[in-house]
Amino acid sequence: MKISYFPNNLPGNANEVFPQLLDAIKKTDTLVDHDMNADVALIWSVLWYGRMAGNKRVWDHFRSQNKPVIVIEVGGLIRNKTWKLGINGINRDADFAVDQYMPNNRLHKFGIVLQPWKQDGEYVLICGQHGHSEQWRNMPDMDTYYKNTITEVRKHTDKPIVVRSHPRFRESLHWSCDTEWYKQQGVTWNIPKHIQQTYDSFDLEHMLNHTYFTVSHSSNAGISSVIQGVPAVVSKHSLAYDVGTEIGTWLSKPDRNNWLNRMSYTEWFADEIGSQWLRIREKL
């Protein structure tokens, strides 16, 4: 196969894993760059913004011809240490070449301990996403999304509501926010804080210690919530969907062990990315 990548459309943390992936592809196939006529495209993420904005044209071109697009992106289990590599999307929309049964011998590499399900919390936490991502396709503008979500939450609980925008898609900075409406609803805005000495990790975990349940669409917030024992309301596009809950069903807390084991086969350390490439290649 001829596989094309697009080196001008990479983020600043690509060097942590991308060279290893390219080396693996070169061992099995023909690797080219900026070739829109290749058999397969390789892009970083589906965020059509900043350095990666040019990937939107690549995505649209290859998918319109029913050609596969391999997507690599940062992982959610150990951010900037593990990486996702899937076909035709990210999160639950992607094919990660995960078999029906996977042995549980990978979990120890992550050192993740599932926390007991929380029985209560101080507030409901609504987490936003970046509006320029393919994940947000067919979704309303962010202001409408938050308003609709808050209205639905209010039907079921009178606990305080905290809204936490995506750190790079903030209210009143990147989209128009009806601040008066939220003030009338008693909604509190949380500003994500960057964790020092990390590339792009933020301080969600400490908030989960005080959260009753979270609401998110398909971002890593749902995954973190479930691991921390906080029920997560998510969409069918989220990798947390199989262990998520719905506001109206209130609040399911399923067993998470099989789910977490399966999750360990959607994320890979840099020195393993070549093995994941071979698994992905079989699906192309």
Per run of 10 residues, the mean pLDDT along the chain (length 284 residues) is 97 95 98 98 97 97 98 94 96 91 87 94 96 95 96 93 92 91 93 67 83 95 96 96 83 90 96 97 94
From 171, 133, 159, 186, select the one nearest 247 (Cα to Cα). Answer: 159
The tokens describing 147, both together, are 């308003």
- Beta partners for 50? none
- Cβ atoms of 70 and 41 within 8 Å: the answer is yes
The whole-number pLDDT of residue 48 equals 97
The whole-number pLDDT of residue 175 equals 87
From 56, 105, 89, select the one nearest 283 (Cα to Cα). Answer: 89
Tell me which long-range contacts 192-198 makes (C-beta under 8 A, separation of at least 24): 192/164, 192/165, 192/166, 192/167, 194/167, 198/79, 198/80
Q: At what angle do helices 273-281 and 18-26 cross, to 10 degrees?
A: 50
Instruction: Tell me which residue has tokens 């399966």.
Output: 262
183: helix, strand or coil: helix
34: helix, strand or coil: coil
The whole-number pLDDT of residue 241 equals 96
CA distance 78 to 83: 8
Query: Residue 37 gets which letter from DSSP?
Result: T
- Beta partners for 30? 2
The whole-number pLDDT of residue 56 equals 98
Residue 200, judged by CB atoms within 10 A of its CB (0-12, 13-18, 19+), counts as middle
The tokens describing 143, both together, are 């202001």
The yes-or-no answer to whether 2-100+267-281 and 123-255 have a common fold is: yes
The whole-number pLDDT of residue 101 equals 72
- CATH class of the 2-100+267-281 domain in this structure: alpha beta
Going from N- to C-terminal start, the domains of the chain cover 2-100+267-281, 123-255
CA distance 254 to 248: 16
The whole-number pLDDT of residue 247 equals 80
Residues 6+ positions from 226 with CB-CB distance below 8 Å = 232, 240, 243, 244, 256, 259
User: What CATH number labels 123-255?
Assistant: 3.40.50
Residues 6+ positions from 235 with CB-CB distance below 8 Å = 217, 218, 241
Q: Which helix (H) or strand (E) holds 84?
A: strand 82-87
- Cβ atoms of 26 and 54 within 8 Å: the answer is no
The whole-number pLDDT of residue 99 equals 80
Residue 260, judged by CB atoms within 10 A of its CB (0-12, 13-18, 19+), counts as buried
DSSP-derived secondary structure for 250-261: -------HHHHH
The whole-number pLDDT of residue 104 equals 85
CA distance 59 to 90: 13
